[in-house]
């Protein structure tokens, strides 16, 4: 397939791609929510259920703003929408700095409110960016290479997410102030905003007579393939946020380590995710979407089995069982986003803005299920939380075993 038949055309140079790729660094800031939660939780003596609501604050906006963002893109373009998202994210980074710098007393309520505002703004900014940045990067893609191209950005995002727990731990140990990471990210965000502002990307519409509307965007969910891909994104985000937030608590409960020490082992998950995302740039260009989905699903199932075993008998086990579970979760879940996104975009190649909005709306799963995971862990122990995650993974099992449900009518007819 040609670019012309699948996406907006643009006059692009290789240099134009650099600021776009750099923007994925800012996109990765959303993954900081889980790490931050593990520090805020003991500061305010929060329960698992309440702590997991922080992820809800960050992810709830995927449901509210995804479709309107697709409309905004049709009016001001993808690049300008990404710039708006970076500005919102910069404010999200600034509020905690004010909170910890000016209200640095124990359990200060003003600081807590500023943290809540920060998580909300981070979610809003990330929603705007998720919807607009993937189609912007997709302008550099070539048809069936879309998943591999999207994985370049996801790989950058994963590498940044990998470093975040280490950076936070270093600030906590070296300065006794884990929140200094907000200062670092604020500076990075400003630099990337300047770079993208100076970037030259000329966008043109595939069909100038077609006007994007919220209703038109949501109507795509009537397509069974798009709907299933939407559910697939919900599954992906649920596992991503839940493993990131709940995993360290399992390790801390089984070993007696501090939350900070346990959270540092999230680097295993992020390292595996980074390796899988970057490796996926090559692998996904060589294998089918079906094969990629099946391989990823097998690793996710194995991860949940190991994590469940460790949550039950971890006190008598080596922590390497937990490390293996986190590794498999990162390897298996990293490519799920691009696999489902690619499948939906190839079904409707002329409506990538709307498809992107719908798929990002599915990231709302990161707001719905983690509190349920936390509540299950509070009620039944850590195995309760893992059980909820395993049930969610069963959706990927269904799609990988009966892959034809992800094919359009035309694709099914071609197989006969």
Identify whether 30 is part of a domain.
yes
Q: For residue 4, what pLDDT is reported? A: 41
Distance, in Å, from the CA atom of 78 to the CA atom of 153, rounded to the nearest integer, reads: 16
Q: For residue 104, what pLDDT is reported? A: 83
Identify whether 140 is part of a domain.
yes
Give the distance, in angstroms, between the CA of residue 255 and the centroid of all CA atoms in the same chain. 28
Taking CA atoms, 257 is separated from 267, 288, 317, 338, in Å, by 16, 42, 15, 35
What three-state secondary structure class fits 357? helix
Identify whether 343 is part of a domain.
yes
Taking CA atoms, 180 is separated from 95, 177, 281, in Å, by 12, 6, 33
Q: For residue 296, what pLDDT is reported? A: 96
CATH number of the domain that 249 lies in? 1.20.1250.20
Give the distance, in angstroms, between the CA of residue 169 and the centroid of all CA atoms in the same chain. 22
Count of domains for the chain = 1
Residues 6+ apart with CB under 8 A from 325: 303, 304, 306, 307, 310
Identify whether 5 is part of a domain.
no
Going residue by residue through the chain, which has 416 residues, state the pLDDT in tens, using 9 for 90 and above. Answer: 344 434 443 445 567 788 988 999 999 888 788 788 888 888 888 887 777 777 777 778 888 899 899 888 888 888 999 999 999 999 999 999 999 999 988 888 999 999 989 999 998 999 999 889 888 887 776 555 666 777 788 788 878 877 887 888 899 989 989 999 999 999 999 999 999 999 877 775 544 455 677 888 889 999 999 999 999 999 998 998 889 888 988 999 999 888 778 877 888 988 898 899 888 888 888 888 999 999 999 999 999 999 999 999 988 899 999 999 999 999 999 999 989 998 998 888 878 888 989 998 888 877 788 889 989 999 999 999 999 999 999 999 999 999 999 998 888 888 76
Distance, in Å, from the CA atom of 87 to the CA atom of 170, rounded to the nearest integer, reads: 27
The total number of residues written for the chain in this structure: 416
Q: For residue 235, what pLDDT is reported? A: 94
Q: For residue 9, what pLDDT is reported? A: 38
Identify whether 136 is part of a domain.
yes
What is the residue whose two structure tokens read 């509070």? 378
Structural domain boundaries enclosing 44: 10-415
Q: For residue 406, what pLDDT is reported? A: 94
Identify whether 4 is part of a domain.
no
**249: part of which helix (H) or strand (E)?**
helix 224-255
The partner residues of 203 in beta bridges, in order of sequence, read 10
Q: Which two tokens stand for residue 335?
A: 């490519």
Taking residue 32's Cβ as centre, other Cβ atoms within 10 Å add up to 24
Distance, in Å, from the CA atom of 261 to the CA atom of 174, rounded to the nearest integer, reads: 14
Query: Would you say the C-alpha torsion 37, 41, 42, 44 has a positive or negative sign?
Result: positive
Neighbour-count burial for 222-240, b at 16+ CB within 10 Å, e otherwise: ebebbebbbbbbbbbbbbb
The partner residues of 11 in beta bridges, in order of sequence, read 202
Taking residue 30's Cβ as centre, other Cβ atoms within 10 Å add up to 29
What is the residue whose two structure tokens read 């986190």? 326
Q: Which two tokens stand for residue 178?
A: 């884990």
Instruction: Estimate the crossing angle of helix 289-313 against helix 320-333, to 10 degrees.
Output: 160
Distance, in Å, from the CA atom of 358 to the CA atom of 368, rounded to the nearest integer, reads: 16
Identify whether 117 is part of a domain.
yes
What three-state secondary structure class fits 335? coil
Taking residue 397's Cβ as centre, other Cβ atoms within 10 Å add up to 15
Identify whether 1 is part of a domain.
no
Query: Would you say the C-alpha torsion 296, 297, 301, 304 has a positive or negative sign?
Result: positive
Distance, in Å, from the CA atom of 200 to the CA atom of 142, rounded to the nearest integer, reads: 20
Q: Which two tokens stand for residue 102?
A: 């000016």
Taking CA atoms, 311 is separated from 90, 184, 315, 381, 393, in Å, by 38, 35, 9, 8, 17
> pTM score, two decimals?
0.79
The answer for 45, left when phi > 0, alpha when psi is -120 to 50, beta otherwise, is left
Taking CA atoms, 265 is separated from 42, 99, 355, 371, in Å, by 18, 27, 35, 22
Nearest to 20, CA basis, from 152, 190, 122? 152
Distance, in Å, from the CA atom of 53 to the CA atom of 70, rounded to the nearest integer, reads: 27
Within 13 Å and on the Cβ side, how many CA atoms surround 103?
A: 14
């Amino acid at each position: 397939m040609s670019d012309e038949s699948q996406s907006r055309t643009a006059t692009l140079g290789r240099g134009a791609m650099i600021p776009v790729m750099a923007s994925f660094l800012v996109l990765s800031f959303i993954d900081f929510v889980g790490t931050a939660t593990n520090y805020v939780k003991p500061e305010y003596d929060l329960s698992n259920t309440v702590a997991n609501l922080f992820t809800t604050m960050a992810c709830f906006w995927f449901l509210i703003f995804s479709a309107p963002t697709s409309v905004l893109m049709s009016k001001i373009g993808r690049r300008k929408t990404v710039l708006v998202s970076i500005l919102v994210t910069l404010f999200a980074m600034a509020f905690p700095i004010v909170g910890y710098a000016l209200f640095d007393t124990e359990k200060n309520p003003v600081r807590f409110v500023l943290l809540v505002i920060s998580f909300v703004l981070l979610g809003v900014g990330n929603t705007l960016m998720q919807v607009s940045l993937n189609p912007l990067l997709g302008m550099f893609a070539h048809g069936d290479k879309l998943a591999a191209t999207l994985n370049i950005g996801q790989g950058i995002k994963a590498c940044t997410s990998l470093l975040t727990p280490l950076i936070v731990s270093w600030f906590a140990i070296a300065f006794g102030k884990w929140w200094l990471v907000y200062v670092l990210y604020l500076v990075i965000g400003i630099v990337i905003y300047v770079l993208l502002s100076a970037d030259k990307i000329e966008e043109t519409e595939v069909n100038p007579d077609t006007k994007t509307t919220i209703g038109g965007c949501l109507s795509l969910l009537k397509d069974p393939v798009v709907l299933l891909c939407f559910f697939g994104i919900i599954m992906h985000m649920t596992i991503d946020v839940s493993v990131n937030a709940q995993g360290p608590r399992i390790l801390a409960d089984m070993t007696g380590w501090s939350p900070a020490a346990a959270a540092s082992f999230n680097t295993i998950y992020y390292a595996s995710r980074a390796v899988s995302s970057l490796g996926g740039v090559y692998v996904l260009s060589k294998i089918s979407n079906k094969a990629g989905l099946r391989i990823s699903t097998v690793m996710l199932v194995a991860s949940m089995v190991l994590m469940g075993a460790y949550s039950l008998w971890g006190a008598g086990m080596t922590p390497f069982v937990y490390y293996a579970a986190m590794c498999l979760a990162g390897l298996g879940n990293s490519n799920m986003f691009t696999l489902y996104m690619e499948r939906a975009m190839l079904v409707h190649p002329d409506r990538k803005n709307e498809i992107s909005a719908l798929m990002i709306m599915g990231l709302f799963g990161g707001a719905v299920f983690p509190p349920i995971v936390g509540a299950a862990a509070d009620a039944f122990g850590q195995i309760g939380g893992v059980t909820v995650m395993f049930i969610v993974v069963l959706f990927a099992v269904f799609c990988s075993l009966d892959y034809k449900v992800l094919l359009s009518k035309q694709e099914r007819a071609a197989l006969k």
